[in-house]
Amino acid sequence: MPLTPRSARGEPPHGAGSAEAWALHRPGTRDVGLLSLAVVGVSLSAPLTAMVTAPMLALAFWRNAAGAAALVPVLLTRERSTLAGLRLRDLRSSVVAGLFLAAHFAAWLPSLSMTTVAASVALVTTTPIWTALAARVSGVRLPAAVWWGLLLAFAGVVLIVGVDVTVSTEALAGDALALLGAVCAGGYVLAGARARRRLATSAYAVVCYSVCAVVIAVAAVLVDAPLGGFQARDWWLIAGITVSAQLFGHTLLNLVLSSVGPTVVSLAVLLEVPGALLFALVLLGQVPPLLALPGVVLVVAGVALVVRAGRPQTLVEQGT
């Protein structure tokens, strides 16, 4: 969609109101629809990734590189007008987001082989806690209901995936990497929120995904991880993950960042946990744990509580 000038939307000039970029807004009907599609997309990621035999760095590289390439035509046609008057400094937050995204993959993917998958997932989904804390530090006053919602949602995730009781140096290192992955994911979402106040979705995503792909490619060269030569099945799975998780998942989440704020976006991603359980049941035949149902209830209740706590946007804020 064309990017309306900030002055026409009643927004502060560049450099002003940075805290507003991190503020919490109640999603409208359109935002809820886009968030729902995005959650479905990211929920397919874990089950499909479990079927990939190619190196994880290769998967991360191709989903970002292909995602950026797929959005270039959109940027050069539908959203070309948004490039008018664009300066290099306007891309700074997008570059930072790409670096955080690459760091997220670099930290989280290795953790899956060092600690239990349950512990890794539980820790990496603490992202909304970090984004909420960062928003609070930036000057955004979050209602008490937001903190209660975060607590409920995270408690639900713990019930769903379980708690890692393994005590070993490697497991602790894996847990630390997963937690670092969550912090980096929070940085990615927050930097993206700032970038989306200046850029259209396609411009932001092309820069962010490209930076992430380049960093991962360099990392793959350093650790001698191949980026090609895989079986056809792996290429089809990588393509499926790119379409579902990268284009329908990450890109739609990036689209609503500027309207609902990073706390709502990162919290909505918690719904990936029950969604992934459902797809794992269908695609892999993995039966959900006994506490999955009450966990799902807590996650949905927590998300609903946070969404209701957000203030509705005015017509000026929506740019209508």
Question: Bigger pLDDT: 304 or 49?
Answer: 49
Which positions ≥6 away from 280 have C-beta within 8 Å?
Answer: 46, 47, 50, 286, 288
What's the CA gap between 126 and 150, in Å, rounded? Answer: 9
Query: pLDDT tens, 270-316?
Result: 676 667 667 767 776 766 666 666 776 777 677 667 666 654 443 33
Hey, which residues does 14 pair with through a beta bridge? none
Query: pLDDT tens, 128-149?
Result: 777 777 777 777 777 777 788 8
Question: Bigger pLDDT: 19 or 240?
Answer: 240
Ramachandran area for residue 14 (φ above 0: left; ψ -120 to 50: alpha; else beta): beta
The model's pTM:
0.73
Distances (CA, A) of 48 to 53, 54, 227, 245: 11, 12, 18, 10
| Residue 109 and residue 223 in contact, taking contact as beta carbons nearer than 8 Å | no
Q: Which range is least confidently modeled, 79-88, 235-244, 256-265? A: 256-265
| Phi, psi angles (nearest 5°) of residue 25 | -125, 145
Query: pLDDT tens, 303-314?
Result: 667 666 654 443
Domain residue spans in the chain?
19-318
Res 8: pLDDT: 38
Q: What percent of the chain has pLDDT over 90?
A: 14
Res 217: pLDDT: 94
**Token code pair at residue 30:** 């359109």
Res 69: pLDDT: 93
Reported confidence tier of residue 153, pLDDT bands at 50, 70, 90? confident
**Count of residues in the chain:** 320
Query: pLDDT tens, 160-202?
Result: 666 555 557 777 788 788 889 888 988 888 888 888 777 888 8
What's the CA gap between 216 and 93, in Å, rounded? Answer: 19
Over the chain, what HEC string results? CCCCCCCCCCCCCCCCCHHHHHCCECCCHHHHHHHHHHHHHHHCHHHHHCCCCCCHHHHHHHHHHHHHHHHHHHHHCCCHHHHCCCCHHHHHHHHHHHHHHHHHHHHHHHHCCCCCHHHHHHHHCCHHHHHHHHHHHCCCCCCHHHHHHHHHHHHHHHHHHCCCCCCCHHHHHHHHHHHHHHHHHHHHHHHHHHHCCCCCHHHHHHHHHHHHHHHHHHHHHHCCCCCCCCCHHHHHHHHHHHHHHHHHHHHHHHHHHHHHCHHHHHHHHHHHHHHHHHHHHHHHCCCCCCCHHHHHHHHHHHHHHHHHHCECCCHHHHCC
Mean pLDDT along residues 219-235: 90
